[in-house]
Copies of this chain bind each other. A is one copy, B any other.
Amino acid sequence: MKQTRMATSPVLTGIHPLDAEGLRLIHAYWRAANYLSVGQIYLLDNPLLKTPLGLEDLKPRLLGHWGTTPGLNLIYAHASRVIKRRELDAIYIMGPGHGGPAGVANAYLEGTYSERYPDVTMDEAGLRKLFRQFSFPGGIPSHNAPETPGSIHEGGELGYALVHAYGAAFDNPDLTVFCIIGDGEAETGPLAASWHSNKFVNPARDGVVLPILHLNGYKIANPTVLARIPENELIELMEGYGHRPVIVSGDDPMKVHQQMAAALEWCLDEIARIKRGSDHERPVWPMIILRTPKGWTGPKTVDGVQVEGTFRAHQVPVTDFESEPGHLKILEDWMRSYHPEELFDASGKLVNELAQLAPRGDRRLSANPHANGGELLKDLRLPDFREYAVTVTRPGTTLGEATRVLGTYLRDVVKNNPDNFRIMGPDETVSNRLGAVLEATNRAWDAEVVPGDDHLGPDGRVMEVLSEHMCEGWLEGYLLTGRHGLFDCYEAFIHIIDSMFNQHAKWLKVTRTIPWRRPIASLNYLLSSHVWRQD
């Protein structure tokens, strides 16, 4: 495809898409999600703070990641707003899935949590359960996990947010994938490479990934690289990756709400324009850089040391309640700063005006069927393998190559299943003798094409990029959203994705025990060449 560069990104300060009431409501929704997140990290009991907080209300062992959570909640609230306004079909990938409280809190606010787990009711008793179960023996993990409604993305090993998002978007032309990437995660190899996924997207038949780089400045105990380079350098980087970034930045919630709303409107207008497909050029997809304090709205200082806006907010920002009597007040003030009494009624139910903000039914991010791919799974239409038999008239006289024959079978699988089967590989499909598939399809390619190129086109079902991480991640995202595929790789290099495979297998193992998770298709590998020939 031809490719052009266009005007730079808009400056959004000064644009106010939210009227006073809209602003009040979205801020209240965010406060509710933040309140529920803090509650999960800390509380055993007294979920509505009906009485002063006591030591006996606190969990004995405090676990969880607060730092990333307010940002995740903010984006979630704003994403839900535009889903409703624009009737989007969308899912939400939480790169910093260690911010597990955010996923759970939002699913709860949307009512999905109680639908999936009827014992976690939308009242005080349910809130108590919700809080208590988090990272508690017999409860749920502290990170985004298969248990979390709306998730296809484990909050464990970082690096795969974008590839999972793209995998979900392929062949889902009407899907929008909000993909949050931590600035820590952005330092990983797989993530750094996967920005280039945008050269493999077909605007006509694929969905859209909207990357939101969550620049809260820190990883565990250190600043992040992308937060500490000059902003114009960061913008160049994102433009170099083929994106048009728009920046949302600040620590005043009211201002950030307006900017965030404006940024999303601008991005979705851009996306709609691109999707109309008038320009015959590789699109420059929009993305958002969100620069807000780590642990935003949490304790500003603890024992005289700054916490909000620093790496100290990464996990549990205030602890040691037994030994430090002042800490309980910090926590209580913090939780009360969200004004739970305005968010939940006396019975513990989310107040109506907030419950009504969420999208309805399947449109809720936590209930979208694409995030429970098994619900959408269709069997592959497979040809009869006997028709591909190599005829052997006399023993020892017929020559045949296993993968060359398989190639003809796969060619017909591609033909029969034009929108739910893909083949991924690090540029080894032909060298693995599967070349026959190219009789039925191209290699996916949305960058420049020159004379002499071999089977490249935006429509391709074969996806070749020299990154085993991207191949694996795309395929995982594709499978997790209910489709089928194959990864062909030299055996020598499959070890590159050992740990990704482990994480995927762990996900599958856990989903077996979750009744509402529907089974998805298997992850198929074709490994060729001898493992020790690493060249």
Q: Which residues of A contact B (CB under 8 A)?
A: 3-5, 65, 97-98, 100, 141-143, 154-159, 184-185, 187-194, 196, 199, 219-225, 228-230, 232-242, 306, 310-311, 427-431, 443, 445, 447-450, 452-454, 456, 464-470, 492-493, 495-496, 498-499, 502-503, 506, 532, 534-535
Contact across chains for B534 and A157 when beta carbons are under 8 A apart: yes
Would you call A184 and B427 a contact (CB within 8 A)?
yes
Complex Cα gap A56–B467 (Å):
40
Which 5 A/B pairs are nearest by Cβ-Cβ distance?
A: A237-B240, A189-B189, A156-B534, A495-B499, A236-B240
Whether B155 lies near A5 (C-beta < 8 A) is no
Q: Which chain B positions have C-beta within 8 A of A469?
A: 188-189
Q: Distance in Å from the Cβ of A435 to the closest Cβ of chain B?
A: 9
Residues of chain B within 8 A (CB-CB) of A535 are: 65, 97-98, 100, 141-143, 155-156
> 23 A-B contacts, Cβ less than 8 Å apart?
A3-B229, A5-B232, A100-B535, A141-B535, A157-B534, A158-B466, A159-B189, A187-B467, A188-B466, A188-B467, A189-B470, A192-B196, A199-B228, A221-B430, A222-B427, A222-B443, A222-B445, A223-B450, A225-B447, A228-B448, A233-B242, A236-B239, A495-B499
Pick from B157, B236, B238, B465: contact of A496, CB under 8 Å:
B157
How far is B229's CA from A380's CA once the two chains are assembled, in angstroms? 35
Pair B221/A5 contact, Cβ less than 8 Å: no
Within the assembled complex, what's the spacing in Å between the Cα atoms of A196 and B429? 31
Task: Decide if B157 touches A465 in the complex (CB within 8 Å).
Answer: no
| Contact status A223-B456, CB under 8 Å | yes
- How many copies of this chain are found per oligomer? 2
Bound: A143/B467 CA distance, A = 20
Given the interface contacts A98-B535, A535-B142, does A224 sit within 8 Å of B466 by beta carbon? yes
Chain B CB within 10 Å, residue with most, of A154, A193, A311: A193
Contacts of A219 in B (CB 8 A): 427, 466
A363 to chain B, nearest CB (A): 29
Which single member of B97, B220, B492 contacts A157 (CB below 8 Å)?
B492
Report chain B residues within 8 Å CB of A465. 187, 225
A311 partner residues in chain B, CB cutoff 8 A: 454
Give bound CA distance, A431 to B238, whole Å. 31
- Do residues A189 and B184 form an inter-chain contact, with CB atoms below 8 A? no
Asked if A225 contacts B240 (CB within 8 A), the reply is no
A443 proximity list for chain B (CB < 8 A)? 222
Distance, CA A301 to CA B247, complexed state (A)? 50
Question: Smallest CB–CB gap between A215 and chain B, Å?
Answer: 13
- What is the chain B residue whose CB lies nearest that of A184? B466
**Which residues on B sit within 8 Å (CB–CB) of A199?**
225, 228-229
* A310: chain B residues within 8 A (beta carbon): 452
A199 to B306, CA, bound (A): 26
Given A229-B242, A496-B499: A222 in contact with B456 (beta carbons within 8 A): yes
Contact of A188 among B3, B100, B189 (CB under 8 A): B189
Complex Cα spacing A188 to B228, Å: 24
- Whether A427 pairs with B193 at a CB distance below 8 angstroms is no
A446 to B233, CA, bound (A): 15
Task: Check B239–A233 contact: CB distance below 8 A.
Answer: yes
Given A187-B196, A237-B240, A496-B157: A222 touches B5 (CB 8 Å cut-off): no
Report chain B residues within 8 Å CB of A159: 189
The listed residue with most B CB atoms (<10 A of its CB), out of A185, A222, A306, A506, is A222
- Asked if B189 contacts A467 (CB within 8 A), the reply is yes
